[in-house]
Amino acid sequence: MMIEVVNLTKKFKKVNAVDQVNLYIEPGEIVGLLGPNGAGKSTTIAMLSTLIPPTAGDVFLNQQSIIKNPVALRKILGVVPQEIALYGELTAQENLKFFGSIHKMPKKKLEERMEVVLEQIGLQNESKKKVKHYSGGMKRRLNIGVALLHEPKYLIMDEPTVGIDPQSRNHILETVKRLNEEFHTAIIYTSHYMEEVEYIAKRIYIMDKGKIIASGTKDEIKSILSSENTILIKLERQSKEFVNVLLQEPTLSNINVNETEISFTVSKDMNFLPTLLTLSNNSGVRLKSFQVEEPSLEDVFLHLTGRALRN
Amino acid sequence: MIDILKTKFLLLLRKPAGFIIITIIICTFAYILGLGQQSKMPIAVYSDLDQEQTEAFLLELKEIPEIDFTLYDEEEAIEMVKDGNTDVAVHLMEKKFELIISPSYLDAALLKNQLNRIYGEFTQQQAIIEAYDDNPSINVEEIIESADAQPSFQIQYLNFSNDGDFVWNPKLHSLFGFTLFMVIYTVANGVAHIVMERRTFIWDRLRISAIGKTEVYLANVIYCFLIGYLQVVLVLSIFYVGGVDFYGGFGKTLLVVIPYLLCIVALAFFIASVAGTSGRFNAYISVLAVPLAMLGGAYWPLEIVSSKAILALSYVSPITYGLDLLNGVTIHSSSMNELVQPLGVLLFMTIIFMGIGINVMEKKEQL
């Protein structure tokens, strides 16, 4: 049961929020949807979740259009929204019971699933507390738990770690990985945190301004920058003269200066170290360290759009 | 649908402050404006009857609880009305009475009705006493009771509003007016849940669940209606038990308030669809409810309003029709035919507001 998105487009007045997006999700895989705020990720997900109809294009489940027949997908789909979609005045148990009941789950089955889910999200000891008294991380975990009650085969997670502490963030990432490994739940994970997507997703789609600008496995995407190396050097002291010399060097690009740390990209074919040593000697500044860095998804995004992911 | 309703009521139980506060406000205002502050209204009485008859008559008149009848000379009584010390003077005569009324007095028809009843009973009593004057063993009260139990004629006053007089009971008016006005806020609180749920994705969770969209809307409509109805029943029952006279129409008031509440639910849905956010929704409700109450006659009866513009605008307020229905089944003893018009207008408004409201909500969801 594969989900295929074909030429999905959503226009709001004259703005193309999502423009001719094509992607697919196979059973049991984690797919990352990476992009800055306003890239069109949430709109894509809303269409994928059958919440809003596309202006053009379609989504297929086993080659059946879910725009025409959304019920088939809804049965096997869980959605974790970006917002905390819970009743603060109710306890975790009461929330789970309500959101389970709207999936028309038999009472006994629902009670069993509630216990399993509470264990999965690590809230079994806090289940009788009102949600409004939970920390941000606990609310996020329950937000995920609610989407897991009816054992969905596909789980869509829209920025599930926004605004929480690193510990809760790790807990959520581990939960996502465990869900995929133990229960083979296919997960579509959207985020603007590239390290999260890089950590959990096998395949990645990078979105910007409503379009998919790159896709593939992590290595495939990073190979976009395979012709270049990112080099990070540390100086003994700050030197404006040395920076000026680097800026005038035609073989370097993407030069970033942060006090004594300087990063730049240079062609992989070029051995730049001797040149660098000569330039530093001429400027009268000593190099403390020299490091060749692997390109990150952030670098790829910067390369493709000329902007940083979190701008 | 039942699960949604259960959860909504559970949420109300967890946070009942709004509901309780509004209920207390209705009771307090209805009491202060209609019941509590009213001391007995003074009415001057002067009489052409002999002293014995006059005293007997005064005893009967003092049975009317809200009015303080005091005997004066004719000149004194008329002077009191002229000076505005009393609104009414009653002139007791053989077999009839006269009312001298100041132009500002609104309850003339009601008072006339009460006096007619007492006059009728009193003259009947006097006639029986005179007829059985020679037989002291006859108990007049027994004869009257048996005559009441088996009357020769059954006379039913279905309506006394056709005589052109304006009939008004300030107690009931303030009770009905404030109930219909304040219940708007209770219903709006229920609808505000929907606005909040739509903003926080809870609504979307419902939409992609196994429950149909119609069920979701229906559950919310029923919930909003029920909390409003519960409040109205509670408030009216408190005053009914507290001794307010509903003119035998208490049960009917609980029925005729249903179309009004449905209309308010529909209106709140419409406003929610336009507002989009909780903040805007609350602002729109606050801005709309007071004018609707003023135009609908919740604070004062529309019959005393002379402005044609305000009277014309009153037709757009559901409170106008809600009050028509409530007054109709109580003080006016209206027939079903007379209730059809306000009933029809309320149902029409319900369909229009609900239709537009749900359509706009759905359209906005698609965006």
Domain CATH code at residue A146:
3.40.50.300
Q: Are residues A184 and A257 in the same domain?
A: no
Structural domains of chain B in order of their starting residue, each with its CATH number: 2-35+168-366 (no CATH), 40-105+108-149 (3.40.190.10)
pLDDT, tens digit, 9 for 90 and up, residues B345-359: 999 999 999 999 999
Q: Choose among B199, B210, B365: nearest Cβ to A103.
A: B210
Q: Choose among A53, A74, A94: nearest Cβ to B208.
A: A74
ipTM over 0.90 threshold: no
Q: Which two tokens stand for residue B270?
A: 């419409």
- Mean pLDDT on B29-57: 76
- A51–B3 CB contact, under 8 Å: no
Q: In B, which residues are within 8 Å of A84 by CB distance? A: 200
Q: In B, which residues are within 8 Å of A83 by CB distance? A: 199-201
Q: Could you tell me if residue A305 is inside a domain?
A: no
- Mean pLDDT on B27-32: 83
Site from A13, A43, A101, A140 to mutate, B interface, most B CB atoms within 10 angstroms = A101
Q: Choose among A50, A75, A81: nearest Cβ to B201.
A: A81
Q: Could you tell me if residue A153 is inside a domain?
A: yes
- B200–A84 CB contact, under 8 Å: yes
Compute, in degrees rounded to 10, the torsion defined by CA atoms B219, B224, B227, B230: -90
Residue of A nearest to B210 (CA): A103
pLDDT at position B225 is: 95
Q: Are residues A251 and A179 in the same domain?
A: no
Q: Choose among A89, A102, A103: nearest Cβ to B14.
A: A89
Shortest distance between the Cα of B15 and any Cα of chain A, in A, equals 8
B321 has a pLDDT exceeding 90 = yes
pLDDT, tens digit, 9 for 90 and up, residues B80-138: 888 888 888 888 887 778 888 887 777 777 778 778 877 777 777 777 777 776 666 66
In DSSP notation, B144-187 reads HHHHHHS-SS-------STTSPPP--HHHHHHHHHHHHHHHHHH
Taking alpha carbons only, the member of B261, B109, B124, B254 closest to residue B183 is B261
Number of independent structural domains in chain A? 2
Least confident stretch, A97-106, A170-179, B29-38, B285-294: B29-38
Q: Which of the four pLDDT bands, split at 50, 70 and 90, describes residue B226?
A: very high
Q: Are residues A192 and A242 in the same domain?
A: no
Query: Rounded distance, CA A156 to CA A50, Å?
Result: 12
Q: Choose among A49, A90, A146: nearest Cβ to B10.
A: A90
**What Å distances lie between residue A138 and A134, A262, B286, CA to CA?**
6, 40, 36
Q: Are residues A67 and A215 in the same domain?
A: yes
- B15–A52 CB contact, under 8 Å: no
Q: In A, which residues are within 8 Å of B278 by CB distance? A: none
- A74–B14 CB contact, under 8 Å: no
Are the C-beta atoms of A176 and A208 separated by less than 8 Å?
A: no
pLDDT at position B140 is: 66
Q: Are residues A78 and A168 in the same domain?
A: yes
Q: Could you tell me if residue A22 is inside a domain?
A: yes
- A81–B10 CB contact, under 8 Å: no
Q: Tell whether B366 is within 8 A of chain A (Cβ).
A: yes
Residue of B nearest to A49 (CA): B208
Residues 208-267 of B with CB under 8 A from A: 208-211
Q: How many Å is the Cα radius of gyration of chain B?
A: 26
Q: Are residues A192 and A233 in the same domain?
A: no
Reported as type and span, the H/E element at residue A156 is: strand A154-158
Shortest distance between the Cα of B352 and any Cα of chain A, in A, equals 26
- A87–B366 CB contact, under 8 Å: no
Exposure string over B2-29, b if 16+ CB within 10 A, otherwise e = ebbeebbeebbeeeeebbeebbeebbeb
Q: Are residues A214 and A284 in the same domain?
A: no
**Higher-pLDDT residue of B308, B187:** B187
Q: Are residues A217 and A233 in the same domain?
A: no
pLDDT at position B6 is: 92
Q: Which of the four pLDDT bands, split at 50, 70 and 90, describes residue B148?
A: low
What average pLDDT does chain B have? 83
Q: In B, which residues are within 8 Å of A146 by CB distance? A: 205
Q: In A, which residues are within 8 Å of B205 by CB distance? A: 79, 81, 85, 99, 102, 146
Residue A296 is classified by DSSP as P
Domain boundary among A222, A241, A260: A222
B323 has a pLDDT exceeding 80 = yes
Please tell me which of B214-218, B294-298, B332-336 the model is most confident about, judged by mean pLDDT.
Answer: B214-218
Are the C-beta atoms of A198 and A238 separated by less than 8 Å?
A: no
Shortest distance between the Cα of A83 and any Cα of chain B, in A, equals 6
Site from A50, A87, A146 to mutate, B interface, most B CB atoms within 10 angstroms = A87
Shortest distance between the Cα of B193 and any Cα of chain A, in A, equals 10
Site from B193, B204, B218, B367 to mutate, A interface, most A CB atoms within 10 angstroms = B204
Q: Are residues A43 and A65 in the same domain?
A: yes
- A94–B10 CB contact, under 8 Å: yes
Please work out, in degrees rounded to the nearest 5, the angle formed at the alpha carbon of residue B206 by the alpha carbons of B204 and B207: 60
pLDDT at position A70 is: 86
How many contacts (CB atoms, under 8 Å) link A and B? 65
pLDDT at position A92 is: 93
Shortest distance between the Cα of A165 and any Cα of chain B, in A, equals 21
Percent of all residues in chain B with a pLDDT value above 90, rounded to a whole number: 30
Q: Are residues A173 and A242 in the same domain?
A: no
Q: Could you tell me if residue A301 is inside a domain?
A: no
Residue A130 is classified by DSSP as B
Compute, in degrees rounded to 10, the torsion defined by CA atoms A105, A107, A112, A114: 70
Contacts of B169 (CB under 8 A, 6+ apart): B107, B110, B245, B330, B331
Site from B1, B7, B223 to mutate, A interface, most A CB atoms within 10 angstroms = B7
Q: Are residues A178 and A261 in the same domain?
A: no
Taking an 8 Å Cβ-Cβ cutoff, which residues of chain A contact chain B?
12, 49-53, 70, 74-75, 77, 79, 81-87, 89-90, 94, 98-99, 101-104, 130, 146
- B200–A52 CB contact, under 8 Å: no
pLDDT at position A309 is: 60
Q: Are residues A115 and A186 in the same domain?
A: yes
Q: Could you tell me if residue A308 is inside a domain?
A: no
Q: In A, which residues are within 8 Å of B207 by CB distance? A: 51
pLDDT at position A95 is: 93
B159 has a pLDDT exceeding 60 = no
Residue of B nearest to A15 (CA): B367
pLDDT at position A162 is: 82
The residues facing A256 across adjacent strands are A263
Domain boundary among A222, A253, A280: A222
Question: Could you tell me the mean pLDDT of each successive run of 10 residues in chain A, 311 residues long?
Answer: 88 86 90 85 89 89 86 87 90 92 89 90 88 89 89 89 83 87 89 84 88 84 76 89 88 86 84 86 88 77 69 48
Domain of residue A242, residue span:
227-294
- CATH, residue A244: 3.30.70.100
Q: Could you tell me if residue A139 is inside a domain?
A: yes
Shortest distance between the Cα of B207 and any Cα of chain A, in A, equals 7
In DSSP notation, B111-148 reads HHHHHHHHHHHHHHHHHHHHHTTT-TT--HHHHHHHHH
pLDDT at position B163 is: 45
pLDDT, tens digit, 9 for 90 and up, residues A52-97: 889 999 999 888 888 888 888 888 889 998 888 999 999 999 999 9
Q: Which of the four pLDDT bands, split at 50, 70 and 90, describes residue B65?
A: low
